[in-house]
Amino acid sequence: MDWQILEQTTDPLPVFHDWLKEAGTTEPNDPNAAALATATRHGEPSVRMVLVKKVDENGFCFYTNEASRKGRELTANPRAALCFHWKTLRRQVRVEGPVVELPAADAEEYFHSRSRMSQLGAAVSRQSQPLESRRRLEELVEQYGEEHPGEIPRPEYWKGYAIQPERIELWMDGEYRLHNRFLYVREGAAWTRQRLFP
């Protein structure tokens, strides 16, 4: 899809899905990885990579430990931004909006779709807290696995979140850094589109 088509596009979400699908064939690892920016109540920012597991009527959905730094910041200041960067395709997508917690059933379903070791790791991790050694982490995983030989219970603090997009920017690389940027702003059920200077 080239920029001329974007000039006629009134809804950025189908374009995002097309780009993500294309990235699945060109990016060597995790095409659904995005930089997630959050901030404290006082506006102090932080950013890290997350995997966006789905984009649906809830928004751009990801999962994390509520007690982690990003979880605490989302509780204090429930707004966030995402940036997908597909270097091979020379494209970016930026997303901004309020964040809502996904239903517990959604988090439960996704948690148990993961590998057993991933579930164990999530269950024992005191995410973002100091850890004395790698060996201590491995001991916690081993111990918890022995205590739960069957299904691993999802910790209450392991939750799903969705960014409900209010602004989406589609960015395409341009020759001589004359990039093509299209900003979509949600107004009710529709989007307005505006081309931006590179």
Pairing of strands 158-163, 91-101: antiparallel
CB 110 within 8 A of CB 104: no
Give the angle 164-112-142 at the CA atoms, nearest 5°.
125
User: Burial level of 146, CB count in 10 A (0-12/13-18/19+)?
Assistant: exposed
Pairing of strands 79-86, 33-39: antiparallel
Whether 177 is a known active-site residue: answer yes
Of 177, 186, 193, 195, the catalytic one is 177
In the block, tokens 């751009």 appear at 60
Which amino acids are annotated catalytic?
177
